Amino acid sequence: MRYDVARSDLERLLDGEPRYRADQVWRGLHQRGLDPEEMTDLPKALRARLGEVLRPALALVAESESDAGDTVKSLWSLAGGRRIETVLMQYHDRVTVCISSQAGCGMGCVFCATGQAGLSGQLTMGEIVEQVIRARRRAEPRRLGNVVFMGMGEPLANYAAVWAAIERLHDDVGISARRITVSTVGLVPGIRRLAGERLPVNLAVSLHAANDTLRDRLVPVNRRYPLAVLAAACREYTEATGRRLSFEWAMIAGVNDQPSDATELAAIARPLHAHVNLIPLNPTPGYATRGTPAAGVQAFRDRLEKLGVNATVRDNRGTDIDAACGQLAASAIAAPANLTP
Protein backbone atom coordinates (compact mmCIF):
# COMPACT_ATOMS: atom_id res chain seq x y z
CA MET A 1 0.00 0.00 0.00
CA ARG A 2 1.01 3.54 -0.70
CA TYR A 3 2.66 4.58 2.56
CA ASP A 4 3.92 1.15 3.52
CA VAL A 5 6.43 1.41 0.70
CA ALA A 6 9.96 2.09 1.94
CA ARG A 7 12.24 4.53 0.19
CA SER A 8 14.33 1.62 -1.12
CA ASP A 9 11.17 -0.07 -2.52
CA LEU A 10 10.36 3.10 -4.39
CA GLU A 11 13.87 3.31 -5.82
CA ARG A 12 13.55 -0.26 -7.06
CA LEU A 13 10.18 0.59 -8.57
CA LEU A 14 11.76 3.48 -10.44
CA ASP A 15 14.66 1.46 -11.73
CA GLY A 16 15.63 2.77 -15.18
CA GLU A 17 14.23 6.25 -14.47
CA PRO A 18 16.48 9.27 -13.90
CA ARG A 19 17.91 9.26 -10.36
CA TYR A 20 15.99 12.35 -9.23
CA ARG A 21 12.65 10.63 -9.78
CA ALA A 22 12.66 8.79 -6.48
CA ASP A 23 13.09 12.10 -4.63
CA GLN A 24 10.40 13.71 -6.69
CA VAL A 25 7.85 10.98 -6.07
CA TRP A 26 8.76 10.59 -2.39
CA ARG A 27 8.29 14.30 -1.80
CA GLY A 28 5.08 14.33 -3.80
CA LEU A 29 3.65 11.54 -1.67
CA HIS A 30 4.80 12.74 1.73
CA GLN A 31 5.18 16.50 1.62
CA ARG A 32 2.34 17.27 -0.73
CA GLY A 33 0.13 14.23 -0.20
CA LEU A 34 -0.38 13.78 -3.93
CA ASP A 35 -1.81 10.78 -5.72
CA PRO A 36 0.68 9.61 -8.37
CA GLU A 37 -1.93 10.63 -10.98
CA GLU A 38 -1.63 14.21 -9.69
CA MET A 39 2.15 14.37 -10.11
CA THR A 40 2.02 16.39 -13.30
CA ASP A 41 5.80 16.74 -13.42
CA LEU A 42 6.07 13.00 -14.20
CA PRO A 43 5.62 11.45 -17.64
CA LYS A 44 2.07 10.22 -18.12
CA ALA A 45 2.92 6.53 -18.47
CA LEU A 46 4.92 6.59 -15.24
CA ARG A 47 2.06 8.31 -13.40
CA ALA A 48 -0.29 5.56 -14.49
CA ARG A 49 2.16 2.81 -13.53
CA LEU A 50 2.78 4.30 -10.08
CA GLY A 51 -0.94 4.80 -9.60
CA GLU A 52 -1.40 1.07 -10.11
CA VAL A 53 1.28 0.05 -7.63
CA LEU A 54 0.95 2.75 -4.98
CA ARG A 55 -2.70 2.28 -4.23
CA PRO A 56 -4.16 4.12 -1.26
CA ALA A 57 -4.97 1.98 1.78
CA LEU A 58 -7.95 4.00 2.99
CA ALA A 59 -11.32 4.12 1.25
CA LEU A 60 -13.76 6.71 2.54
CA VAL A 61 -17.05 5.19 3.66
CA ALA A 62 -18.66 8.23 5.23
CA GLU A 63 -17.86 11.64 6.53
CA SER A 64 -19.82 13.71 9.04
CA GLU A 65 -19.31 17.29 10.19
CA SER A 66 -20.22 19.19 13.31
CA ASP A 67 -19.23 22.43 15.07
CA ALA A 68 -20.07 24.29 11.84
CA GLY A 69 -17.69 22.13 9.87
CA ASP A 70 -14.80 22.58 12.30
CA THR A 71 -14.97 18.94 13.37
CA VAL A 72 -14.94 16.31 10.66
CA LYS A 73 -15.19 12.61 11.38
CA SER A 74 -14.18 10.21 8.61
CA LEU A 75 -15.00 6.53 8.55
CA TRP A 76 -12.53 4.53 6.46
CA SER A 77 -12.59 0.99 5.22
CA LEU A 78 -9.31 -0.93 4.96
CA ALA A 79 -8.22 -4.23 3.50
CA GLY A 80 -9.78 -7.27 5.14
CA GLY A 81 -12.94 -5.46 6.18
CA ARG A 82 -11.30 -3.46 8.98
CA ARG A 83 -12.84 -0.07 9.72
CA ILE A 84 -11.36 2.91 11.48
CA GLU A 85 -12.22 6.53 12.16
CA THR A 86 -10.24 9.72 12.22
CA VAL A 87 -11.35 13.09 13.54
CA LEU A 88 -10.09 16.41 12.19
CA MET A 89 -10.45 19.29 14.64
CA GLN A 90 -9.98 22.88 13.50
CA TYR A 91 -9.52 25.49 16.21
CA HIS A 92 -8.91 29.18 15.72
CA ASP A 93 -5.18 28.81 16.32
CA ARG A 94 -4.42 25.25 15.28
CA VAL A 95 -5.55 22.20 13.38
CA THR A 96 -5.25 18.77 14.96
CA VAL A 97 -6.02 15.29 13.69
CA CYS A 98 -6.97 12.50 16.02
CA ILE A 99 -5.90 9.20 14.43
CA SER A 100 -6.47 5.50 15.05
CA SER A 101 -3.70 3.03 15.78
CA GLN A 102 -5.80 -0.16 15.71
CA ALA A 103 -9.19 -1.24 14.36
CA GLY A 104 -11.09 -1.45 17.63
CA CYS A 105 -9.25 -2.05 20.89
CA GLY A 106 -8.65 -5.01 23.15
CA MET A 107 -8.00 -3.13 26.39
CA GLY A 108 -11.58 -3.26 27.59
CA CYS A 109 -11.92 0.08 29.41
CA VAL A 110 -15.54 -0.11 30.53
CA PHE A 111 -16.60 3.42 29.56
CA CYS A 112 -15.11 3.44 26.03
CA ALA A 113 -17.14 2.61 22.91
CA THR A 114 -14.04 1.35 21.07
CA GLY A 115 -13.21 -0.91 24.01
CA GLN A 116 -16.78 -2.18 24.17
CA ALA A 117 -16.49 -3.29 20.53
CA GLY A 118 -13.22 -5.21 21.04
CA LEU A 119 -10.17 -5.52 18.80
CA SER A 120 -10.75 -6.33 15.15
CA GLY A 121 -7.28 -5.80 13.72
CA GLN A 122 -3.95 -3.98 13.76
CA LEU A 123 -3.05 -1.12 11.45
CA THR A 124 0.09 -0.99 9.37
CA MET A 125 2.53 1.90 9.47
CA GLY A 126 1.25 3.09 6.10
CA GLU A 127 -2.38 3.01 7.21
CA ILE A 128 -1.50 5.23 10.16
CA VAL A 129 0.52 7.67 8.04
CA GLU A 130 -2.19 7.86 5.38
CA GLN A 131 -4.74 9.05 7.93
CA VAL A 132 -2.55 12.09 8.55
CA ILE A 133 -1.91 12.73 4.87
CA ARG A 134 -5.63 12.60 4.06
CA ALA A 135 -6.52 14.85 6.98
CA ARG A 136 -3.88 17.35 5.98
CA ARG A 137 -5.38 17.66 2.54
CA ARG A 138 -8.90 17.82 3.95
CA ALA A 139 -7.82 20.72 6.19
CA GLU A 140 -6.38 22.83 3.36
CA PRO A 141 -5.92 25.77 3.06
CA ARG A 142 -5.37 25.58 6.79
CA ARG A 143 -2.19 23.90 7.94
CA LEU A 144 -2.48 20.67 9.89
CA GLY A 145 0.04 20.99 12.71
CA ASN A 146 -0.74 18.43 15.39
CA VAL A 147 -1.30 14.71 15.51
CA VAL A 148 -2.78 12.89 18.49
CA PHE A 149 -3.08 9.12 18.83
CA MET A 150 -6.45 9.38 20.55
CA GLY A 151 -8.67 7.71 17.98
CA MET A 152 -9.42 4.01 18.01
CA GLY A 153 -6.97 1.60 19.56
CA GLU A 154 -4.12 1.45 22.01
CA PRO A 155 -1.00 2.73 20.24
CA LEU A 156 1.44 0.91 22.50
CA ALA A 157 -0.30 -2.39 21.69
CA ASN A 158 0.72 -1.86 18.05
CA TYR A 159 4.14 -0.50 18.89
CA ALA A 160 6.25 -1.26 15.82
CA ALA A 161 3.77 0.18 13.34
CA VAL A 162 3.06 3.23 15.51
CA TRP A 163 6.70 4.02 16.04
CA ALA A 164 7.55 3.58 12.36
CA ALA A 165 4.66 5.93 11.53
CA ILE A 166 5.95 8.55 13.96
CA GLU A 167 9.38 8.41 12.34
CA ARG A 168 7.84 8.73 8.88
CA LEU A 169 5.67 11.66 9.98
CA HIS A 170 8.64 13.44 11.53
CA ASP A 171 11.26 12.68 8.90
CA ASP A 172 9.25 12.75 5.67
CA VAL A 173 5.83 14.30 6.20
CA GLY A 174 7.21 17.27 8.10
CA ILE A 175 5.26 16.98 11.36
CA SER A 176 7.68 17.42 14.21
CA ALA A 177 7.68 14.76 16.92
CA ARG A 178 7.07 17.62 19.36
CA ARG A 179 3.66 18.06 17.81
CA ILE A 180 2.76 14.40 18.08
CA THR A 181 1.05 13.03 21.19
CA VAL A 182 0.81 9.35 22.00
CA SER A 183 -2.06 8.57 24.34
CA THR A 184 -1.84 5.30 26.24
CA VAL A 185 -3.95 3.39 28.71
CA GLY A 186 -0.69 2.75 30.57
CA LEU A 187 1.19 -0.15 29.00
CA VAL A 188 4.37 0.13 31.04
CA PRO A 189 6.78 -1.80 28.78
CA GLY A 190 5.68 0.40 25.86
CA ILE A 191 6.22 3.60 27.84
CA ARG A 192 9.73 2.42 28.76
CA ARG A 193 10.49 1.58 25.15
CA LEU A 194 9.19 4.96 24.01
CA ALA A 195 11.52 6.64 26.50
CA GLY A 196 14.52 5.15 24.67
CA GLU A 197 13.55 6.27 21.15
CA ARG A 198 15.42 8.93 19.19
CA LEU A 199 12.48 11.31 18.84
CA PRO A 200 10.69 12.88 21.81
CA VAL A 201 6.89 12.75 21.48
CA ASN A 202 4.37 14.01 24.02
CA LEU A 203 2.96 11.35 26.28
CA ALA A 204 -0.62 11.33 27.53
CA VAL A 205 -1.62 8.67 30.03
CA SER A 206 -5.31 7.88 30.42
CA LEU A 207 -5.48 7.66 34.19
CA HIS A 208 -9.17 8.16 35.14
CA ALA A 209 -8.60 6.81 38.64
CA ALA A 210 -5.81 7.41 41.15
CA ASN A 211 -6.31 4.41 43.40
CA ASP A 212 -5.87 0.81 42.29
CA THR A 213 -9.26 -0.41 43.48
CA LEU A 214 -11.17 2.00 41.24
CA ARG A 215 -8.70 1.85 38.36
CA ASP A 216 -8.79 -1.96 38.30
CA ARG A 217 -12.51 -1.65 37.70
CA LEU A 218 -12.50 1.12 35.06
CA VAL A 219 -9.29 0.24 33.24
CA PRO A 220 -8.68 -3.53 33.48
CA VAL A 221 -5.08 -3.19 32.30
CA ASN A 222 -4.35 -1.64 35.70
CA ARG A 223 -4.36 -5.14 37.19
CA ARG A 224 -1.24 -5.86 35.18
CA TYR A 225 0.42 -2.46 35.57
CA PRO A 226 -0.79 -0.88 38.80
CA LEU A 227 -0.44 2.81 39.58
CA ALA A 228 2.90 2.71 41.38
CA VAL A 229 4.54 0.90 38.46
CA LEU A 230 2.84 3.21 35.97
CA ALA A 231 3.96 6.34 37.81
CA ALA A 232 7.56 5.06 37.85
CA ALA A 233 7.45 4.52 34.07
CA CYS A 234 6.05 8.04 33.62
CA ARG A 235 8.94 9.46 35.60
CA GLU A 236 11.39 7.54 33.45
CA TYR A 237 9.72 8.97 30.38
CA THR A 238 9.87 12.60 31.40
CA GLU A 239 13.44 12.28 32.64
CA ALA A 240 14.60 10.61 29.43
CA THR A 241 12.81 12.91 26.98
CA GLY A 242 12.16 16.21 28.75
CA ARG A 243 8.67 16.17 27.22
CA ARG A 244 5.55 17.20 29.02
CA LEU A 245 3.45 14.45 30.53
CA SER A 246 -0.30 14.72 30.72
CA PHE A 247 -2.98 12.69 32.42
CA GLU A 248 -6.37 12.24 30.82
CA TRP A 249 -9.27 12.08 33.24
CA ALA A 250 -12.79 11.37 31.96
CA MET A 251 -15.08 12.79 34.62
CA ILE A 252 -17.66 10.20 35.58
CA ALA A 253 -20.51 11.40 37.79
CA GLY A 254 -20.22 10.03 41.31
CA VAL A 255 -17.38 7.69 40.33
CA ASN A 256 -14.14 9.68 40.06
CA ASP A 257 -15.22 13.31 40.56
CA GLN A 258 -15.21 13.60 44.35
CA PRO A 259 -12.85 15.79 46.40
CA SER A 260 -11.00 12.67 47.57
CA ASP A 261 -10.37 11.74 43.91
CA ALA A 262 -8.79 15.15 43.33
CA THR A 263 -6.57 14.65 46.36
CA GLU A 264 -5.41 11.22 45.19
CA LEU A 265 -4.85 12.47 41.65
CA ALA A 266 -2.81 15.44 42.87
CA ALA A 267 -0.61 13.11 44.90
CA ILE A 268 0.37 11.31 41.70
CA ALA A 269 0.38 14.23 39.24
CA ARG A 270 2.24 16.84 41.27
CA PRO A 271 5.57 15.07 41.76
CA LEU A 272 5.57 14.23 38.03
CA HIS A 273 4.68 17.81 37.01
CA ALA A 274 1.95 16.26 34.93
CA HIS A 275 -0.74 18.38 33.34
CA VAL A 276 -4.27 17.07 33.83
CA ASN A 277 -6.88 17.18 31.06
CA LEU A 278 -10.41 16.89 32.35
CA ILE A 279 -13.10 15.78 29.98
CA PRO A 280 -16.68 15.03 30.94
CA LEU A 281 -17.43 11.39 30.15
CA ASN A 282 -19.09 10.96 26.78
CA PRO A 283 -22.07 8.68 26.91
CA THR A 284 -21.54 5.28 25.27
CA PRO A 285 -24.05 2.47 24.76
CA GLY A 286 -22.31 0.02 27.08
CA TYR A 287 -21.85 2.16 30.18
CA ALA A 288 -24.84 3.63 31.90
CA THR A 289 -23.08 6.19 34.10
CA ARG A 290 -23.15 9.84 33.08
CA GLY A 291 -20.54 12.53 32.73
CA THR A 292 -19.98 15.02 35.54
CA PRO A 293 -21.99 18.23 34.99
CA ALA A 294 -19.99 21.34 34.07
CA ALA A 295 -20.08 22.88 37.55
CA GLY A 296 -18.65 19.71 39.06
CA VAL A 297 -15.89 19.60 36.47
CA GLN A 298 -15.00 23.21 37.27
CA ALA A 299 -14.95 22.53 41.02
CA PHE A 300 -12.69 19.52 40.47
CA ARG A 301 -10.35 21.64 38.37
CA ASP A 302 -10.22 24.37 41.02
CA ARG A 303 -9.42 21.80 43.67
CA LEU A 304 -6.56 20.40 41.59
CA GLU A 305 -5.18 23.89 41.03
CA LYS A 306 -5.26 24.54 44.78
CA LEU A 307 -3.32 21.32 45.25
CA GLY A 308 -0.66 22.61 42.85
CA VAL A 309 -1.69 20.72 39.70
CA ASN A 310 -2.33 22.41 36.36
CA ALA A 311 -5.57 21.22 34.87
CA THR A 312 -7.51 22.09 31.73
CA VAL A 313 -11.12 21.37 31.00
CA ARG A 314 -11.02 19.94 27.52
CA ASP A 315 -13.29 21.27 24.87
CA ASN A 316 -15.40 18.35 23.83
CA ARG A 317 -15.59 18.38 20.05
CA GLY A 318 -17.97 16.42 17.90
CA THR A 319 -20.13 14.86 20.59
CA ASP A 320 -23.19 15.10 18.36
CA ILE A 321 -21.58 13.07 15.59
CA ASP A 322 -20.02 10.54 17.97
CA ALA A 323 -16.61 11.96 17.16
CA ALA A 324 -15.59 12.77 20.70
CA CYS A 325 -13.10 10.77 22.76
CA GLY A 326 -14.25 7.26 23.49
CA GLN A 327 -17.19 7.36 21.12
CA LEU A 328 -15.45 5.95 18.08
CA ALA A 329 -16.89 2.56 17.21
CA ALA A 330 -16.74 2.60 13.39
CA SER A 331 -20.17 1.07 13.24
CA ALA A 332 -22.41 3.98 12.36
CA ILE A 333 -22.90 4.59 8.67
CA ALA A 334 -23.68 8.21 8.01
CA ALA A 335 -26.74 9.13 5.98
CA PRO A 336 -26.11 9.30 2.22
CA ALA A 337 -26.25 13.09 2.44
CA ASN A 338 -23.04 12.95 4.44
CA LEU A 339 -21.30 10.68 2.01
CA THR A 340 -18.48 12.35 0.16
CA PRO A 341 -17.33 10.50 -2.94
Beta-carbon contacts of residue 217 (< 8 Å; ≥ 6 apart): 110, 209
Q: Which stretch binds ligand SF4 (CB under 6 A): 1-9, 69-77, 111-119, 229-237?
A: 111-119
Q: Which of 116, 124, 158, 206 binds ligand SAH (CB under 6 A)?
A: 206
Part in contact with ligand SF4 (CB under 6 A); list of ranges 36-44, 85-93, 102-110, 262-270: 102-110
- Point out which span in 14-22, 104-112, 134-142, 165-173 binds ligand SAH (CB under 6 A): 104-112
- With residues binned 3-state (H G I as helix, E B as strand, rest as coil), the percentages for the chain, rounded to 5, are 45, 20, 40
Restricting to residues 277-316, which ones interact with ligand SAH according to CB under 6 A?
A: 279, 281-282, 284
Residue 202 interacts with which of ligand SF4, ligand SAH, none, CB < 5 to 8 Å by class: none
State the DSSP code for 70: T
Closest CA relative to residue 265, chosen from 253, 244, 251: 251
Crossing angle of helices 188-195/159-168, nearest 10°? 30
Q: Least distance (Å) from ligand SAH to the CB of residue 245?
A: 13
Q: Give the nearest distance from C-beta 116 to ligand SF4 in angstroms.
A: 8
Catalytic residue among 98, 109, 234, 325: 325
Q: Does 161 bind ligand SF4 (CB under 6 A)?
A: no
Taking a C-beta distance cutoff of 8 angstroms, is the pair 78, 131 a contact? Answer: no
* Strand locations in the chain (E): 59-66, 71-77, 83-90, 95-98, 102-104, 119-122, 146-149, 180-184, 202-206, 245-251, 275-280, 311-313
Contact by Cβ (8 Å): 98, 144:
no
Q: Which parts of 174-233 interact with ligand SF4 (CB under 6 A)?
A: 185, 206
Q: Is 325 a catalytic residue?
A: yes
ω before 141 within 30° of 0 (cis)?
Answer: yes
Q: For residues 106 and 120, give the distance between their C-alpha atoms in angstroms, rounded to a whole number.
A: 8
Stretch 1-40: interaction string toward ligand SF4, x if CB under 6 A: ----------------------------------------
From 94, 119, 99, select the one nearest 109 (Cα to Cα): 119
Give which of ligand SAH, ligand SF4, none residue 195 binds (C-beta under 5 to 8 Å, depending on kind).
none
| Options 131, 184, 202, 292; binder of ligand SAH; rule CB under 6 A | 184
Cβ proximity to ligand SAH, 112 vs 177, nearer residue: 112
| Residue 85 bears catalytic tag | yes
Q: Using CB under 6 A, which of the segments 26-34, 75-83, 110-118, 287-295 binds ligand SF4?
A: 110-118
CB under 8 Å, gap of 24 or more: what pairs does 223-229 form? 225/186, 225/187, 225/188, 227/268, 229/188
> Annotated catalytic sites, by residue?
85, 325
